[in-house]
Amino acid sequence: SKILLIVGARPNFMKMAPLYFELTQTAGFDPIIVHTGQHYDYAMSQAFFEDLQLPESHHYLGAGSGSHAEQTAKVMIEFEKVLAQEHPDLVVVFGDVNSTVACSLTAKKQLVPVAHVEAGLRSFDETMPEEINRRVTDAISDLLLTPSVDGDENLRREGALDGRVRCVGNIMIDSLVTILGRIGADQEAQMLDDLALGTGSYVLVTLHRPSNVDEPDSLRQILVYLNHLSEKLPVVFPMHPRTRKNIERFGIDVPFTKDFRIIEPVRYRQFILLQKNARFVLTDSGGIQEETTYLKLPCLTLRPNTERPITITQGTNELVDMETIEEKSDRILSGRWKEGTVPALWDGRTAERIVRVFQEFGVSDSATRKE
Ligand code: UD1
C-alpha cells in the first residue's frame, strides 16, 4: 500500500515523525511525505525536520500564507495534483491546521481513505479556526485515531461509527520521549548557559492565537503583564512570526525590562529543553499543554477554553484570563500547584499502535516493501 503523510505547520512535524519511522524502520512501508508549505520559515519548518532527523519531504506544495480561504484552497489545488500522480491507498493527516482539513477534503473527494491522527479533540469554540478544521476533518475521515478517551466520547456524541474510532494515545509524546533520550546533559547545560538561565529560574512564554495577538488592546495588555512578571522572574518568549508582525503593525512599544527576553522561534530540541528547565510555562498553544503535562511542569493556558481538557483534569494545566493570571502565577511561584498524572497511552508507543490499526484495516506493506 502507498501511504501519504501530510504536514504543513510547525505542530504537525513532531506528530508525523514517529509514524514515519515506525512505518519505515519497523513495519516495512515506504511512506511519502507531503509538506504543504503552510509554514515556510527555516525556524518554523526545516529546523524541525533536522531535529526530528526526518528526510526531506517528497512533495513540497509551497502554499505559504494568506487568508484562510486562500491558504486552504492553494493546498487543495496542489494536493489534488499529488494525488493524481501518486494514487495512494491511504492519506494520513495530523492535528487541526488548515493543511489538515485541506488535504483530508481533497483526498476524500478522490475516494482515497483518510486517517486522522489526533482526532476527537473539541474546544466547542467555533470562533477558533482549528475547531472548524477538527470537526470537518473528523466528519469525513475513515479512521479516527484519538489521543485520549475524551476524544472517543466527543466523536461518539457526534455519531461517528464505532469501528472507525481508536484510542491510540498521544503521538506527540512519542517524539518528546525520543528527543529527551537524545539530548545529552552537557548539551542541556550549554543551552542554559548560552541564554544565561538557571534551572527553574524563568518563565517560558509562547503566544500566537488570533484571539490573543490579533487585537491591539489585548496584545498590549498581555505584553504589559509579562513585563511586570519579568520583574519577579525572567521571562523567555520565543516569538511566533504572527505575534512579532502584529507588535510591529500595531506599533506597540512597551518599555521592556532586561529580563523580558523576546527571542526568535527556537528549534524543537531547544524548545523541549527550555520547557524542561522552566519554572512554569504560559502559553496559548495546544501541544504545549500536553508536553507540560507529560513533564509535570505547571502550565497556564491563556485561553477561555481548551480542546485538551485532560491536561487540566489529570495534568498540570489550568486556564487563565487577564483577571486570574497574576493570582495563578503567584500560586505557582509559591509552590502551591498540582503535580498531575500522565494520561493513559501517553507513553511513547502511539506510533506502534497506529501501525497495528492500519494493518488491521488491511493497509498492507506488500506493494512497497523495500528489498
Ligand atoms: C498555524 C495553525 C495553528 C498552529 C500554529 C502553530 C491554522 C489555522 N493555524 O497558525 O493551529 O497552532 O500554526 O504555529 O492552521 N508566518 C511566517 N513564517 C512562517 C509561517 C507563518 O512569517 O513560516 C507568518 C505569516 O505572516 C502568516 C502568519 O505567520 O500570515 C500566520 O501563519 P498561519 O500559517 O496562517 O497561521 P499560524 O498563526 O502559524
State pLDDT tens for residues 93-146. 999 999 999 999 999 999 999 999 999 999 999 999 999 999 999 999 999 999
Instruction: Tell me the CA–centroid distance for residue 287 and ligand 1, in Å.
Output: 15
* Same structural domain, 205 and 91: no
| Nearest Cα residue to atom 3 of ligand 1 | 97
User: Cβ of 161: how many Cβ atoms within 10 Å?
Assistant: 10
pLDDT per position as a tens digit, 287-321: 999 999 999 999 999 999 999 999 999 999 999 99
Mutate which of 97, 209, 245, 308 to test ligand 1's pocket (most atoms within 8 Å of Cβ)?
Answer: 97
pLDDT computed for residue 165 by the predictor: 98
Residue 371 pLDDT > 60: no
| Nearest Cα residue to atom 33 of ligand 1 | 65
Q: What is the mean pLDDT of the chain?
A: 96
Question: CB–CB of 138/146 below 8 Å?
Answer: no
Mutate which of 35, 38, 105 to test ligand 1's pocket (most atoms within 8 Å of Cβ)?
Answer: 38
* Same structural domain, 356 and 289: no
Asked if the structure places residue 143 within a domain, the reply is: yes
The enclosing domain of 217 has a CATH number of 3.40.50.2000
* Same structural domain, 165 and 262: no
pLDDT band at 255 (very low <50, low <70, confident <90, very high): confident
Index of the ligand 1 atom closest to the CA of residue 44: 23
pLDDT per position as a tens digit, 131-158: 999 999 999 999 999 999 999 999 999 9
Asked if the structure places residue 341 within a domain, the reply is: no
* Same structural domain, 119 and 20: yes
Please state the φ and ψ torsions of residue 298, each to the nearest 5 degrees.
Answer: -55, 135
Cell of 164: 472507525
Index of the ligand 1 atom closest to the CA of residue 97: 15
* Same structural domain, 194 and 128: no
Asked if the structure places residue 340 within a domain, the reply is: no
Index of the ligand 1 atom closest to the CA of residue 40: 23
Residue 370 pLDDT > 90: no
**Ligand 1: residues within 6 Å at CB?**
9-11, 38-41, 44, 65, 96-98, 129-130, 208, 240-242, 245, 285
Residue range(s) defining the domain that contains residue 30: 3-170+346-368
Cell of 282: 504560559
pLDDT per position as a tens digit, 51-96: 999 999 999 999 999 999 999 999 999 999 999 999 999 999 999 9
pLDDT computed for residue 365 by the predictor: 79
Does 294 or 367 have the greater pLDDT score? 294
* Same structural domain, 292 and 353: no
Residue 259 pLDDT > 50: yes
Mutate which of 7, 39, 306 to test ligand 1's pocket (most atoms within 8 Å of Cβ)?
Answer: 39
Burial class (CB in 10 A: 0-12, 13-18, 19+), 327: exposed
Catalytic residues: 208
pLDDT computed for residue 294 by the predictor: 98
Residue 327 pLDDT > 60: yes
Asked if the structure places residue 152 within a domain, the reply is: yes
Could you give the angle at the alpha carbon of 157 between the alpha carbons of 156 and 158, nearest 5°?
90
Q: Would you say the pTM of this structure is higher than 0.95? A: yes
Nearest to 101 by CA among 71, 121, 145: 71
Question: Edge-to-edge strands of the sheet including 235-238?
Answer: 260-263, 235-238, 203-206, 280-283, 299-302, 317-320
pLDDT computed for residue 366 by the predictor: 64
Number of structural domains found in the chain: 2
| Nearest Cα residue to atom 20 of ligand 1 | 39
Index of the ligand 1 atom closest to the CA of residue 133: 8
Asked if the structure places residue 175 within a domain, the reply is: no
| Nearest Cα residue to atom 11 of ligand 1 | 97
Residue for grid cell 504543504: 36
* Same structural domain, 36 and 115: yes
Nearest to 222 by CA among 258, 248, 247: 247
Instruction: Tell me the CA–centroid distance for residue 159 and ligand 1, in Å.
Output: 31
pLDDT per position as a tens digit, 186-239: 999 999 999 999 999 999 999 999 999 999 999 999 999 999 999 999 999 999
* Same structural domain, 361 and 303: no
* Same structural domain, 14 and 127: yes
Asked if the structure places residue 236 within a domain, the reply is: yes
Asked if the structure places residue 338 within a domain, the reply is: no
* Same structural domain, 65 and 112: yes
Index of the ligand 1 atom closest to the CA of residue 43: 23
| Nearest Cα residue to atom 19 of ligand 1 | 39
Residue 28 pLDDT > 50: yes
3 state SS of 238: strand
* Same structural domain, 144 and 192: no
Q: How far apart are CA 74 and CA 61, in angstroms?
A: 9
* Same structural domain, 10 and 153: yes
| DSSP letter assigned to residue 163 | G
